[in-house]
Structure 1
């Protein structure tokens, strides 16, 4: 992208927010160096550093920001600095000009056309379009009008957009985006209120967005729009609650807490508890007030009382609520209470992990190892958790400097398909000793049949004879591994390709599969040469004369 068309590469919502930052002069301390690099500080709810590098053609070679936003490729801060840079270039009469300004084509884009019109013409265009498309009028009114009943206005907008896209009580996947347009606009307003220091308004707007959007899950074919809306709403509520807990009166804090907790307790979140937990976290921001803290404790206990899992240890619901309780205890109660709570809930992954890390920090290796061993026994039917506790056990041995146990455990973890332990395991041995260990390990893997670990190691170690045997047992792998063995086994590689191609040809019965066969033949040609490929193609044409579509695809191979 270049500075003239960067808008095409941004999400429209993000672009609008970046433009808002630019117009509000939030791009501070912009500095340009001689290499076309611009650095700026952008201030909003927080302060972030943004860098953009342009080349001589005004193309953007580099664009970075240190904010945590990762939903799309580009954040609002990046958009803001690009608007600022384009403005600076325009002032210097370098905007949009390449080698020769006279060669630049006329700007026939939308912005170029609109820039030539006067105010009355623009008003007429917008009025005419609004008559034809009523949603344009609604969006303009929402964005630019001042409404004392802002929260009510947002609620109406969200609901109207959802109801408009319903057909027989259902919203199809292609209509989900337009259905949440109102929610997106409302959350834009909530962000503006948050950044402007109006925290109560930000919370209120976000809270009226959530109910209709959560309900929408039950009657729509979601295409990835709904969860981000709810995630953003809870993020705004949490951030606003923390700000409000520092600045609002005690009475207003209690009112905000009650509004948030009332929503969190609603039955609509019984199947979507992740957002309930986020709302409870927002409520926790006000727990410096003992009365509020007591209320939140009671709410959590009530929710815990509703949970009756068959397997207590694996209950996500209970663990998430217990973690919230622990957060409150750590924040407001003596350290010994937090430690006692942690130990009484050690059966949960989060608490066992915290206990292990605390033991390692204190260099209490005996306790760390015992916690790991107990976790392995407790979660014996959950391979992912077993591996996790083994990894912590390895970390403990590493901190102890116990090389012998590191070797044993690294091998065990590698055997269980933890490929990241291959270089770790190898690094524990001197070169000569590693050769013996590698041979022993590969022999053991062969006795248990081949595995992804085996494939990874023989490829990494260039074990050509073993790679050949592996391909002979897994013909499809010749496509990926031929380069490792073609020099040593050219005849065998050719035979494996031919065998695999002939098998695929026999099974193919439609054009899609014929194209798949031809893709393999092209790789065969690259590996074994044009002459070998030509002989095979001629053979296939002769064998499958009654498959004209296959012959047509074969003729396309160059």
Structure 2
């Protein structure tokens, strides 16, 4: 949640705001350190000492976190206390020291700091310390701090002659451990930290690829993917930092595959893909099936092909989508390695796969075997009767077959059916009908379609009827249709088309629905919506009518302060 410093009080619950102010006034907030430009860290004394981190850009807090256990909302009292510290000059606040004296307000720390940031101080120190001094410091710290030691060893794993995936796995685990903190949860800020650090690792992997070191790049990508997919179980990844990093790691792995890596690495990638798919560690994500695609791309021998097919055969039948997609991968492998006849036999054995059925229909059409194409489409309609989208696609094939045969009667039959049934049409069935139906029969056909659409249950096809009225330019009928709709959004959808013909009637409809909308909705955002439509009335030239609506709303809802304020802005 972003928090503008100019009115941060509106974003924090009042009890937390009061406690935060108390922490600040009582001197429990240590002076914030600017880690890098715009990023601050401060310790707040409470039942324990808690660390607050804030990122500020253009006087807006873009990121905030605290390592306290508070989990009842986005902002705790410790974050509020630090904000008060940063804004003390703007707010004219003073701070009591623990002895009871008064501290004068300091310059707001949300403004650019004149003193060096911690990052700059570190750079200065590294520039002055000798090589031997740094080695001694690192050696002694590594001996005392196991977490630092693990991070050090893993960060420079490329210099280890016994390099393996384990070394990079350890590095990723250490980064996650550092970011999780003492409560073991990876919050949004921690997830971003891990993602940023691993982006550097992936940069190293891409460097290895350019240098021809595909094995090290493979170790890095797979270590990142395996550890992050586990970390997602105890992480707040609403901003997608971790998932984006997994996508990047998989893309880098695919890049290795496309680079024609050495045989050892090819086998590693193939085995990793099959193992990951069998473990189902990535099930529910795109990567799960992508492992099959990549394994199919990497396989080189018939025995590897059989290994892949065994994994496909083991997919639970209940995972229908996964089964169908895996069959398509197997077909492509057979076509590439065993030839068209073997692949075609497999296709026919699994013709219930919609992708295979569509391919078979197209093949029959290409061979002008219309009887076979028609039979396949009709079988699809029967087989997939519970899936309206698939049924519509098989009718579309019947339409294509009829078009190939110039069968006018069936073209009209199927195009009419699809016009009425398809909510996501593949083609413009209305135009197909218009181009083939004789002009003298057109109006009667359209009227019949309109009547059927309005009578169709359980869902009336008013969207279709409206589109027909628009294409036929039957504006008065479109207005009558819109009158039956009860939402402001529906009315606004056709406003541009109706305003030039019926501005007064449109304003009347807005007036009626605005009043009903305010009666049924509470809250400032809804009041703003109502006022937006009042402004539309004014643009239609109905200022007097708009004033009547405003007057009625003021009389009926005079207790709603937020509504009164929004009406003042019209």
Structure 2 contact 364–370 (Cα < 8 Å) conserved: yes
Quick one: which of 216, 238, 250 aligns to 1:201?
216
- Which position in structure 2 is the counterpart of 1:456? 467
For residue 302 of structure 2, the aligned residue among 282, 290, 298 is: 290
Structure 1 residue aligned with 2:16: none
Query: Is 1:504 paired with 2:520?
Result: no
- Asked if 1:344 corresponds to 2:359, the answer is no
* 1:262 is aligned to 2:270: no
Structure 2 Cα separation of the partners of residues 466 and 126 of structure 1: 84
Of 150, 160, 177, 2:174 maps to 160
Equivalent position to 1:438, from 424, 434, 446? 446
Task: Report the Cα distance in structure 1 between the residues aligned to 2:461 and 2:307, rounded to whole angstroms.
Answer: 58
Distance (Å, rounded) in 1 between the aligned partners of 2:413 and 2:194: 56
2-structure distance, mates of 1:308, 1:483: 51
> In the superposition, relative to structure 1, how do residues 369 and 530 fare at CA in structure 2: closer, same or farther (>3 Å)?
same
* Residue of structure 2 in register with 1:372 after alignment: 377
* Residue in 2 that maps onto 1:409: 414
Question: Unpaired runs of 5+ in structure 2?
Answer: 1-111, 131-136, 139-146
- Matched-pair contact (CA < 8 Å) for 2:296–2:333: yes
Cα distance in structure 2, aligned partners of 1:238 and 1:321: 18
| Number of equivalences | 428
Shift of 1:438: 2.2
RMSD of aligned Cα (Å): 3.8
Matches within 5 A, 1:27-46: none
TM-score (norm 1): 0.67
Counterparts of 1:356-371 in structure 2 under 5 Å?
A: 356-371=361-376
Matches within 5 A, 1:79-478: 124=127, 149=163, 151-166=165-180, 168-223=183-238, 224-244=240-260, 248-249=262-263, 253-269=266-282, 271-272=283-284, 274-301=286-313, 303-304=314-315, 307-309=316-318, 315-416=320-421, 417-418=423-424, 420-421=427-428, 422-429=430-437, 433-448=441-456, 449-476=460-487, 477-478=490-491
Deviation at 1:375, TM superposition (A): 0.9
Cα 1:515–1:275 shift into 2, 3 Å: closer
Structure with higher Rg: it is 2
Cα distance change on mapping 1:121 and 1:227 into 2, 3 Å: closer
Of 524, 527, 533, which residue of structure 2 is paired with 1:520?
Answer: 533
1:397–1:146 distance in 2 versus 1, CA, 3 Å: farther
| 8 A contact 2:214–2:265 mirrored in 1 | no
Between 380-389 and 358-367, the greater mean CA deviation after superposition: 358-367
Is 2:490 the counterpart of 1:485? no
Q: CA deviation at 1:211?
A: 1.1
Consecutive unaligned residues of structure 1, counting only runs of 5 or more, are 1-108
Question: After TM superposition, what 4+ stretches of structure 1 lie above 4 angstroms from structure 2?
Answer: 120-123, 141-148, 150-153, 430-433
Distance 1:144 1:237, change over 3 A: closer
Question: Does the residue aligned with 1:190 lie in a helix, a strand or coil?
Answer: helix
Q: Is the 8 A contact 1:176 1:220 kept in 2?
A: yes
Q: Secondary structure at the match of 1:528?
A: coil
Deviations 1:305-324 (A, max 9, x none): xx242xxxx71232233223
